[in-house]
Amino acid sequence: MQTASNKRESFGEIINGNTPVLVDFFAEWCGPCKLMKPVLEELHSKMGNKVRILKIDIDKSPAAANALHIQSVPTLMLFQKGKPVWRKSGVLQAIQLQKIIEQQITSN
């Protein structure tokens, strides 16, 4: 799992890659956001390098949050080759996320 503070690649470079990217827009003060951390860790352990998981703190990266019209946290977005293909606000379980990602990978 990566955070946006990882400056080796820009956000644009990451989402434009060949690997689907699940972005978790969160905030430190958000209780439900804290529930997503173990879910994303479980998802990462199940899916490995089939998907990249990126966490973006909306308070530290307000430009990204504004550009993508993030109005509540947590908001999860799945990008494939630079395009948003799925979006959902709220807490989801790892198995739900895995199914959604696998469906998007096979349909695109």
d(CA 60, CA 82): 22
Q: What ranges do the domains of the chain cover?
A: 2-107
Q: Which two tokens stand for residue 3?
A: 């955070």
pLDDT digits (tens, 9 = 90+) for 1-54: 554 444 578 888 999 999 999 999 999 999 999 999 999 999 999 999 999 999
d(CA 64, CA 54): 13
The answer to whether residue 33 is catalytic is yes
The answer to whether residue 74 is catalytic is no
pLDDT digits (tens, 9 = 90+) for 73-104: 999 999 999 999 999 999 999 999 999 999 98
Please identify which of the residues 1, 30, 100, 105 carries the catalytic annotation.
30
Superfamily of domain 2-107: Glutaredoxin (3.40.30.10)
pTM of the full predicted structure? 0.89
